[in-house]
Amino acid sequence: MSRNERSERRGLSGGCQCGAVRFHARLLGRPSICHCRMCQKAFGGFFGPLVTAHDATWTRGKPKWFQSSNVARRAFCGECGTPLAYETKYGLELAIGAFDDPAAVAPVIQVNLTDKLPFFDGLTSLPVRDHPSDEWLGFMAGVHSNQHPDHDTETWKPGGEA
C-alpha cells in the first residue's frame, strides 16, 4: 500500500503554529503550488502550497476568514496568523505546510504561472551553507519552541503545553 493510500485511509491532520486551530481530512485531491499574487501575499512567500480537501473538519478552534476577492476567502489562525485554507464555490483547499506531515501531500502541479517570480526556478541552484557558524549553533541551542507539535493533542494552550 502506497503512502498516499495509507494517508487516504486514516486521513491527515494539521493546524496552525500555536495549536489554537486544528483540522483533519481523509479525502484529499490534487496538491499544487499556486503562483498567483494573492497566494504570494496570503502566505508571505513565493507561492501558495495548497491541496484540495473534500471532507475537512475543524477539530480544534475555528479559523478567522478574510474575503481576499469577490470569489475567494482565506482562513488563518486568529491567534498566530498561520495561513490555513483557501475557499471558493468549488471547495476548500488546505495549506500544505500546515499539515503535520506535509511530505504526504507533496505538490504535483504548478498553477497560475503569470505571477511566478522570475527567480523561482533558480532557487535550487543557490549556494548551500553546510556548516553553520559557532555563533549560529549557540543561538539555536538556546531556542525553546512554543509551536504546537506535529500531531493531535488532547489539550493545548496556544504558545505552549497546557
pLDDT > 70? residue 3: no
Dihedral over alpha carbons 114, 41, 48, 100 (to 10 degrees): 170
Q: List the grid coordinates of 79.
A: 491567534
How confident is the model over 126-154, as a mean pLDDT?
87
Which CATH number applies to 3-119? 2.170.150.70
How confident is the model over 60-77, as a mean pLDDT?
97
How confident is the model over 57-84, as a mean pLDDT?
97
How confident is the model over 50-75, as a mean pLDDT?
96
Instruction: Determine the distance from the C-alpha atom of residue 27 to the mean position of all C-alpha atoms in its chain, rounded to a whole number.
Output: 17
pLDDT > 80? residue 44: yes
**How much of the chain, in percent, has pLDDT values that exceed 90?**
73
Report which residue type is found at 130: D
Residues whose CB is less than 8 angstroms from the CB of residue 47 and which lie 6 or more positions away in sequence, other chains included: 33, 34, 35, 39, 40, 110, 116, 120
Domain boundaries, the chain: 3-119
Residues 91-133 pLDDT 10s: 999 999 999 999 999 999 999 999 999 999 999 999 998 888 9
